[in-house]
A and B are shown apart, each in its own frame.
Chain A
Amino acid sequence: EVQLLESGGGLVQPGGSLRLSCAASGFTFSSSSMTWVRQAPGKGLEWISEIVDSGATYYADSVKGRFTISRDNSKNTLYLQMDSLRAEDTAVYYCIKGGWGDYWGQGTLVTVSS
């Protein structure tokens, strides 16, 4: 059974940093693309980043230069390093297996506020 467990969310001040983690199990993590999608309160879904099996990375313009996606295949873990956080980054962040949303984690809430 595929399981994705996000952690690392919380309250952070504007300009601060946070690192999200996603522990994966139930599939061959190293062979899978992995994606982060977020949803601001009361808003729609926003694709923000993907890392493919080769390690190539892709970002939405809204986070490019501030967020870094990475993976540790030895730990079956996906990461999202978020720097220079802004109020508009407040959202639930979902970890997703694959590039087109077949399995989703439960999400972790990030709140950027002073």
Chain B
Amino acid sequence: DIQMTQSPSAMSASVGDRVTITCRASQGISNYLAWFQQKPGKVPKRLIYASSSLESGVPSRFSGSGSGTEFTLTISSLQPEDFATYYCLQHNSYPRTFGQGTKVQIK
């Protein structure tokens, strides 16, 4: 099974900060990676698919990059509505696996 290691597990940041979250795969997954945002009590929402493709309607301050085993989600200028938990998902092979999540909190 492919393990997805997400870092950091939690972070504190201020509005306007640049935020980077990393997911590392235990083996190569090409670009078969998606990123999700989940706010408390809400359903997860996909932000990025195919590693770097922005979901329709998602603000352009979100971006994704990477291929193979290392991937990043970047928020260029953190906004109040971005405080949430973020997850990566590999869909290169079965079983699919999520990262353990990164909680972005207000500093």
B94 touches A101 (CB 8 A): no
A1 sits at the interface (CB 8 A) = no
Interface residues on B, range: 20 to 34
With A100-B34, A100-B91 already in contact, the answer to whether A47 and B98 are too (CB < 8 A) is yes
Chain A residues with CB under 8 Å of chain B are 35, 37, 44-47, 50, 58-61, 94, 99-102, 104-107
With A61-B1, A99-B91, A100-B89 already in contact, the answer to whether A45 and B46 are too (CB < 8 A) is no
A104 touches B91 (CB 8 A): no
A58 touches B1 (CB 8 A): no
A101 touches B89 (CB 8 A): yes
Taking a contact as CB atoms closer than 8 A, the residue among B1, B49, B85, B99 that contacts A100 in the complex is B49
B44 touches A44 (CB 8 A): no
CB distance from B84 to the nearest CB of A (A): 13
Bound: A105/B87 CA distance, A: 17
A104 touches B95 (CB 8 A): no
B18 sits at the interface (CB 8 A) = no
Taking a contact as CB atoms closer than 8 A, the residue among B32, B49, B101 that contacts A45 in the complex is B101
CB distance from B5 to the nearest CB of A (A): 13
Q: Tally of A-B residue pairs with Cβ under 8 A?
A: 53
Residues in A with CB closer than 8 Å to B69 are: none
Taking a contact as CB atoms closer than 8 A, the residue among A44, A50, A106, A107 that contacts B87 in the complex is A44
With A101-B34, A106-B43 already in contact, the answer to whether A44 and B101 are too (CB < 8 A) is yes
B95 touches A60 (CB 8 A): yes
CB distance from B16 to the nearest CB of A (A): 28
B87 touches A102 (CB 8 A): no
Bound: A50/B49 CA distance, A: 18
Within residues 49 to 107 of chain B, which ones have a CB less than 8 A from any CB in chain A? 49, 85, 87, 89, 91, 94-101
Per-position 1/0 for B8-45, Cβ under 8 A of A: 00000000000000000000000010101010000111
Residues in A with CB closer than 8 Å to B91 are: 99-100
